[in-house]
Amino acid sequence: MKAGHNASAESDYNTDAVAYAAGHTGAIRILDTNTRAVHYFQNGYCWVMNLVSGVYQFLKIKDSDLGTAAHVDIYLYDPLPFAIPASTFTACQRNPFASVSFANSEFMAQICVPLIPVTTAYYFWGQTWGPCFGTAQSAIPGALAGDREVYYGTDGALMAGQDVDALVVMRQRGGFVISNTTGGGDQFYMLQITP
């Protein structure tokens, strides 16, 4: 019952040296020196910064082809809403749920809470909102008066607000304690990490 981390950030890219017209529905070639598996960017996002027109927009990626060491072709859900000049700066990101892990890292966000033990490389349902129960890292959240916020440690365990206050670096907020904790803290909390 610990929250899981999401995948690492991707690199920034440029589109191929080809212009794409508004309304384009085919592939958009992204220059990428990494060899990408087919569907790598499926249900991900592409940030397009058209420096010529000043139009910047976030686009939803439907799928992607097998990439080479030079490029990968992505496909959008909707027709391209604006023209893209050749060699336009883009930043493509995978779906935040494409690679959930439990590695201890201070550079990754908690993305969901699995409700069952998860075997590596298997699909699972992860909770992102609503009543939830978690494993406490140290002090149980809600043990002190007025301490209602729940945060995550680097391993996804729950941290009480007073533990976070003692740190130099702020932790990710996970929600708030639901129960009346007059008699002590509780690990029953309202999960609020919907991306």
Domain boundaries, the chain: 10-93, 110-192
Provide the pLDDT for residue 88: 86
Question: Which percentage of the chain shows pLDDT scores above 90?
Answer: 29
pLDDT tens track for 4-48: 776 666 666 777 778 899 999 999 999 888 889 999 999 999 988
* Long-range interactions of 119-128: CB distance < 8 A, separation 24+: 126/4, 126/97, 126/100, 127/191, 128/191, 128/193, 128/194, 128/195
pLDDT-derived band of residue 59, with 50, 70 and 90 as boundaries? very high
- For 28-38, write each residue's pLDDT tens digit: 999 888 889 99
How far apart, in Å, do the first and last CA atoms of the chain sit?
A: 19
- Whether 56 and 47 have beta carbons less than 8 Å apart is answered as yes
For residue 9, what pLDDT is reported?
62
**Span 81-102, mean pLDDT?**
85
Of residues 153 and 55, the one with the higher pLDDT is 153
Return the pLDDT at 98.
Answer: 83
Q: Please give the share of the chain, as a percent, with pLDDT higher than 70.
A: 90
- Identity at 148, one-letter amino acid code: R
DSSP 107: T
Average pLDDT estimate for 62-67: 95
Q: Enter the CATH code of domain 10-93.
A: 2.40.30
pLDDT level of residue 153 (50, 70, 90 thresholds): confident
Average pLDDT estimate for 57-73? 93
Four-CA torsion 36, 37, 40, 42, nearest 10 degrees = 130
